[in-house]
Structure 1
């Protein structure tokens, strides 16, 4: 395909077509608070956040954005900003305090209220079933390393479908399995804090089995018009140099970060990497058929690119990332490079899979330090980030690549996992002392853009 000069594309909503979905994304644990209210059970993050040194500044999510109590006001803001689609997740332990078995009706009632209010306000709910908050009771039994999680997850998905499937038309089974398995079961920097291949490899395989089991369950129980997807994090990978060993290292990192989960569900199997050889002992007879599912859409989530070079002393993968701060490039508050072309390249890469029917960009956004001056937040860097990334989405669409929607991460500043409340991704500012909401300049830009 011939690439279009991005400067020739005026950025306006009409450029994307009338059917393009414009949304905003959130996650239950990051915004809800009410961590032990109304019968909710403990999640792995409830336990992990109590451990010294695990969360920046000793922060915790117990109150977060208090969305649990303020959901109507926040959904009103979504409507005010002309946003038509709201992606949020269900808290597993709010529905099933022990992860399985006993149902907490108060949790089901809560999400019914959220869904009903969205629809009342003309905002379409897009629901993620699993966004990292595994019930602690299941982690005590091995969590994602225990093959029994396939049954646990299937039961949980069944409950979600039966409780909300009459009104929710768009479902995402799982959010970014690369992150919660890698950070939580290999590096130990996210909940539950496990480390090593002995935890990572079974967690990966069981997550793939659960994605497929979840997809099959939703398709069995929900109307045929329901759209079923799942989401993947991805970063555009480039080698540090043209040296063969840097090029080979970049290919290995791309396989681990961008291909590890998508290719099995497409029927391509796991990428051939030496680090994955130990996976064989977790793959049982019959698993091959249970690794494949024909999703209606795939959610692609992109924030940046990574530069990779060969590293003899990095175990398993013999590659390392060259940090953005060492490359003299603009960065966000997360230390991630601001590189708008990354989203174009990832759309191109996922479009190369002929099995994928439809692609939504289910997360894209940036964290920058926000300063409140006289009640106003002029977050020009975030607004520019959004415009530059959307220009690249328009470029991809112009070049014929499939992309059907864009969801900003995120609605309100929130609890950003191990980083606590330090990085602010929201298009709405939150004063975490008072819970005061203030629409940032980036949020107003998005509202104006969508209102054109």
Structure 2
């Protein structure tokens, strides 16, 4: 495993050396928890390792390998960051961070059991990766339920991570879930297991959905989840600078004769309006959010969903590769144009007020 960390650090340094004069924001690892869940717990993604009852793989151990894999990802990021900060950041003036898949978890029940389940959901899905990099160790909830199975950091490693090893947090946020307790209630084998935090994640409570369904399974439109997840990160990580690195609305593909349905994507426009308004409230409340990125500029290949889901602001004919702006692309262009105008007006106003103060003084 040490060799793998060294290989990662070597690769990162090649990038810093080759592109650092142009790249100012570096992300070492993207959505580690999704990768670990699908690759080492369920065995769906390469290298396809798992064990029963989580999946049917030829080899693997779903109890321990995810813990080891995340531990090595953390230490790989640590090595890359150490190199960047020591040899490249002073000259290049850039920043280095990680990107997490940040789901908002709401308690399934409004009682202590429900609130504890939501806390465990955050610990086992978000803080698992971020806490060591910012606070220097795994979440207490994980230590409690996993005990000795959870790897420990050596004294040398603790010295490396004690000062915090991210300049910013990248936030990929799309949806919210209810977190239902599986300690006091029966759940399926995956959710009734320590590595899941004994939590069932569901989009439905008492027959009512948490938000409108999208074309992607287990994805719901919950705009206020953006404000809440940014607020959670602000508090837990001392308002570390954040970028919303992904936020988008998936639609299912349709036959070519129905392409106008995809071009007139009013639901995507409403989705972004709602989520951006929610993000604005979080910023107004003091969250240090530095940027926002729509997923995605154009329809593309979406992992195991292939071309069946379309997230793009631009429609792509995958046969000819012709790109056509959707209604959402035109709306977003106008939105950004208006934001720019308002920003410039505010800058002029502040500048004018400052000049008045200088004259009075």
* TM-score of the alignment, normalized to the shorter chain, above 0.5: yes
CA contact (8 A) 1:161 1:221 kept: no
Deviation at 1:159, TM superposition (A): 0.7
The one of 135, 140, 149 aligned to 1:267: 135
The one of 193, 206, 218 aligned to 2:84: 218
- SS of the equivalent of 2:323 reads strand
Which of 299-308 and 237-246 deviates more?
A: 237-246
CA contact (8 A) 1:190 1:417 kept: no
Matched, 1:201 2:39: no
Deviation at 1:282, TM superposition (A): 5.9
Provide the TM-score with structure 2 as the length reference.
Answer: 0.79
Where in structure 2 are there 5+ consecutive unaligned residues?
Answer: 51-61, 339-361
CA shift in 2, pair 1:155/1:268, >3 Å:
closer
Counterpart for residue 319 of structure 1 = 199
- SS of the equivalent of 1:409 reads coil
CA deviations on 1:339-381 (whole Å, 9 max, x unpaired) are 0111101111111145454111111111023655469701111
Which of 435-444 and 211-220 deviates more?
A: 211-220
Counterpart for residue 16 of structure 2 = 161
Counterpart for residue 398 of structure 1 = 284
Deviation at 1:290, TM superposition (A): 3.3
Q: Distance in 2 between matches of 1:160 and 1:148?
A: 19
The one of 223, 227, 232 aligned to 1:340: 223
Deviation at 1:406, TM superposition (A): 0.3
CA contact (8 A) 2:100 2:170 kept: yes
CA shift in 2, pair 1:324/1:420, >3 Å:
farther
Deviation at 1:413, TM superposition (A): 1.4
Q: Distance in 1 between matches of 2:76 and 2:252?
A: 37
- SS of the equivalent of 1:222 reads helix
Deviation at 1:409, TM superposition (A): 1.0
Matched, 1:364 2:235: no
Deviation at 1:324, TM superposition (A): 4.5
- SS of the equivalent of 1:149 reads helix
Provide the TM-score with structure 1 as the length reference.
Answer: 0.64
Which of 314-323 and 436-445 deviates more?
A: 314-323
Deviation at 1:315, TM superposition (A): 1.8
Structure with bigger gyration radius: 2
Task: List aligned pairs for 1:105-184, cutoff 5 A.
Answer: 146-184=1-39
CA contact (8 A) 1:236 1:306 kept: yes
Counterpart for residue 234 of structure 2 = 351
Structure with the bigger RCO (C-alpha within 8 Å, sep 6+) is: 1
CA shift in 2, pair 1:276/1:417, >3 Å:
farther
CA shift in 2, pair 1:306/1:386, >3 Å:
same
Deviation at 1:280, TM superposition (A): 4.4
Q: Distance in 2 between matches of 1:267 and 1:289?
A: 12
- SS of the equivalent of 2:135 reads coil
Q: Which has the higher helix share?
A: 2
Task: List aligned pairs for 1:209-248, cutoff 5 A.
Answer: 209-224=75-90, 225-248=93-116
Q: Distance in 1 between matches of 2:259 and 2:41?
A: 42
Task: List aligned pairs for 1:89-108, cutoff 5 A.
Answer: none
CA contact (8 A) 2:249 2:311 kept: yes
CA deviations on 1:297-318 (whole Å, 9 max, x unpaired) are 1111211111011223422232
CA contact (8 A) 1:370 1:379 kept: no
Q: Distance in 2 between matches of 1:183 and 1:362?
A: 21
Deviation at 1:204, TM superposition (A): 0.9
Superposed CA RMSD in Å reads 2.2
Deviation at 1:166, TM superposition (A): 1.4
The one of 176, 180, 200 aligned to 1:309: 180
Work out the number of aligned pairs and report it: 307
Q: Distance in 2 between matches of 1:231 and 1:374?
A: 34
Deviation at 1:190, TM superposition (A): 2.0
